[in-house]
Amino acid sequence: MFDTSDEIKVEINGYEIKLLEGSTLEDAIKVSNAPHRKGTAVGILIEKGDRKAQSSREYTVRTSKGDFKIELHDTPSLSLERWFSDYEKYSDLAVRWVSRDAIAFGPFVSDTESVRGNMEFKAFELMFAAGGGDPDNTHLIFSRDRHIAEYGAPEEGTFAKVISGKHVLLDLNKNDRILGIEPFVEWEKIGEHISTTDLSTIIEDGAKIFTYVEVELDPEAPEGAEHFYAVTRDGTFNVDFVSTSFISDHRFQGELVAYENFESRSAGSVFVRTVGYGSGKLFIATDDRTSTIMHSVVGHVVKGLQLAKMAKTGQRITVEKSPHSIMLPGMNHLEAENEMDALGIEVVREGYVGDDGFIVSQAPETTMDILIQGKVVLTGVDPDHLVKIELYDDLAQKTLDFFRHATEMQYKPVGVLPVLMTYENTYIFKAEKEAEKYKEILPENTPQGKVVAGEIGVTNQAAKRAGMVGVKAEDSDLFGPTGEKFANTNIIGRILEMDKLKNLKDGDIMYVVENSKEEE
């Protein structure tokens, strides 16, 4: 036991915890079990002075099912005045009733003056409503769909709208309740902040800590969501550039992404550039920006935007995603069906349909479409047709960036390499995706004296056929795996199962998968 006078109170990702005085960031993360990936930055805010609710137009509503955020309307009204003065009183309200169109929390006493008659409400808006015209029977009512109804709302109708976490509002039922309501105030206006990767940093009493950013992907941008999943596959967002209104991750610059969702890029919006120089860049808006026809909104930050605002160029931040990606290639049929059963998704097997069938494609391809349709078709191949490879990340980073883009391994666990030709002891492949048009293949890790059988070579930009991929079944001291001179060949890895290439012929497809570290 310890003296409570030695305690400090801190807030981590919106939840208050107690620590011993002198505790570090690492202590706070361990005690709270907060999401955090090794090496990523953590934001710390020390508030100075009182926060004023009136300075905020956005509020986080914490519920028993999760958080969602609302934004107040611009037009002054009595409802807004009531909200500013009393919002803290609504921090422990149970669901009174719920329907397909709306959900009500309460009741509570207010001075709401209601009007009789039906009113039209848009989806995801918020109002005060006095049931039966009685202000002692007032509720907070959130619309969940566009509809017409009489709730006893005031003349101005709604006073706010839900801007993120809409799925949380839709999931609430009679057993749920509001746990807290907090104004979202710009951190620049309320205190000192740092962004650090040093987990030995000592924490002050009252500090607010942010260890991750949670992004809710938008069903209106299924392909854009896949781009986001791929860029952040390792659970991080690389802060390659910081401006006054956004941070951006450039790992997939050059990739073409479909334009799907024209939407205001308000603070917290996640969007991708779809055309021109910089296509494929991923952005998180840290301030409001207008819509453009060059940027498609793919999701919204629902927690931890403060961390994005504090992040510095060159840092990485931890990212959590909702919903989680559905990427079944790389599994066998039995594993995939077990995973889909847990989500209530119907599975149809095609191709090689044995339980051990190695999945090489899924249809629909996107997570959003699979969730909407509730069904996925999986194409499997005999495991003997799958080739394990080892890639030399330490020796050929730039060329492997090209290779993974060309074979789509940057999006999927399984790479696709069509056989262009086979001759003597050589296999030549040409990826369907012409990544050489936007990815450099400068000379890198070129052979010295001899090419060993099984080594994977890529023709570099010193030769006309840049982007060709090749493998030789025998050692060679004359030409690289693609038949080019050594100076024109970059060695990127090796085939671990050369015997599986014996039956390949022109026009066949070789499926490749990286050998896991556990298997080495």
Adjacency order of strands within the sheet including 241-242: 236-238, 316-322, 212-217, 295-303, 269-273, 282-285, 246-249, 241-242
Domain membership of residue 327 (yes or no) is no
Tokens at 182, concatenated: 């907090």
DSSP at 138: E
Adjacency order of strands within the sheet including 346-351: 346-351, 375-381, 358-363
Q: Are 254 and 267 contained in the same domain?
A: yes
Of 185, 1, 156, 167, nearest to 82 by C-alpha is 156
Tokens at 455, concatenated: 């080594």
Q: Are 206 and 221 contained in the same domain?
A: no
State the average pLDDT over residues 187-210. 85
pLDDT tens digit sequence for 96-120 = 999 999 999 999 998 888 888 899 9
Q: What is the pLDDT of residue 433?
A: 85
Does residue 3 surpass a pLDDT of 80?
A: no
Q: Are 397 and 488 contained in the same domain?
A: yes
Neighbouring residues of 134: CB distance < 8 A, sequence distance ≥ 6: none
Instruction: Give the total number of structural domains in the chain.
Output: 5
Q: Are 398 and 485 contained in the same domain?
A: yes
Domain limit, last residue, from 210, 245, 270: 210
Does residue 333 surpass a pLDDT of 50?
A: yes
DSSP at 499: G
Q: What is the pLDDT of residue 1?
A: 44
Domain membership of residue 162 (yes or no) is yes
Q: Are 37 and 75 contained in the same domain?
A: no
Does residue 409 surpass a pLDDT of 70?
A: yes
pLDDT tens digit sequence for 224-283 = 999 999 999 999 999 999 998 999 999 998 888 999 998 878 888 999 999 988 899 999
Does residue 456 surpass a pLDDT of 50?
A: yes
Looking at the DSSP bridge assignments, the partners of residue 67 are: 62
Q: How far apart are CA 459 and CA 418, in angstroms?
A: 16
DSSP at 443: -
Q: How far apart are CA 60 and CA 201, in angstroms?
A: 28
Q: How far apart are CA 218 and CA 325, in angstroms?
A: 13
Burial of 323 (0-12, 13-18, 19+ CB in 10 A): middle
Q: Are 339 and 267 contained in the same domain?
A: no
Calculate the average pLDDT of the chain.
Answer: 90
Of 77-91, 254-268, 350-364, the one with minimum mean pLDDT is: 254-268
Pairing mode of beta strands 15-20, 469-472: unpaired
pTM over 0.75: no
Does residue 468 surpass a pLDDT of 50?
A: yes
pLDDT tens digit sequence for 412-430 = 999 999 999 998 889 999 9
State the average pLDDT over residues 294-320. 94
Domain limit, last residue, from 322, 349, 371: 322
Q: What is the pLDDT of residue 2?
A: 47
pLDDT tens digit sequence for 366-395 = 999 999 999 999 999 998 889 999 999 999
Q: Which of 165-174, 251-260, 314-323 has the highest mean pLDDT?
A: 314-323
Q: pLDDT-based confidence at 287, cuts 50/70/90?
A: confident
Domain membership of residue 328 (yes or no) is no
CB neighbours (10 Å) of residue 188? 9
Does residue 352 surpass a pLDDT of 50?
A: yes
Residues 317, 224: contact at Cβ < 8 Å? no
Q: pLDDT-based confidence at 520, cuts 50/70/90?
A: very low
Does residue 38 surpass a pLDDT of 60?
A: yes
Q: Are 446 and 350 contained in the same domain?
A: no
Residue type, 487: A
Q: How far apart are CA 361 and CA 222, in angstroms?
A: 17
pLDDT tens digit sequence for 493-505 = 999 999 999 888 8
Residues 406, 431: contact at Cβ < 8 Å? yes
Q: What is the pLDDT of residue 276?
A: 86
Domain membership of residue 355 (yes or no) is yes
* DSSP character string of 211-280: -EEEEEEPTT-HHHHHHHHHHTTTSEEE--EE-SSEEEE-TTTT----------B-TTEEEEE-SSTTTT
State the average pLDDT over residues 2-20. 84
Q: What is the pLDDT of residue 440?
A: 87
For residue 31, the enclosing domain spans 4-46+192-210
Q: Are 351 and 426 contained in the same domain?
A: no
Domain membership of residue 111 (yes or no) is yes
Q: Are 206 and 219 contained in the same domain?
A: no
Residue type, 232: T
Q: What is the pLDDT of residue 95?
A: 95
Q: Are 430 and 484 contained in the same domain?
A: yes
Q: Are 361 and 480 contained in the same domain?
A: no
Percent of the residues in the chain that have a pLDDT greater than 70, as a whole number:
95
Residue type, 65: K
Which CATH number does the domain housing residue 220 bear? 2.40.100.10
Percent of the residues in the chain that have a pLDDT greater than 90, as a whole number:
69
Domain membership of residue 344 (yes or no) is yes
What is each CA distance from 115 to 104, 147, 151, 157, 159, in whole angstroms?
A: 18, 17, 9, 9, 15
Does residue 55 surpass a pLDDT of 50?
A: yes
Q: Are 395 and 506 contained in the same domain?
A: yes
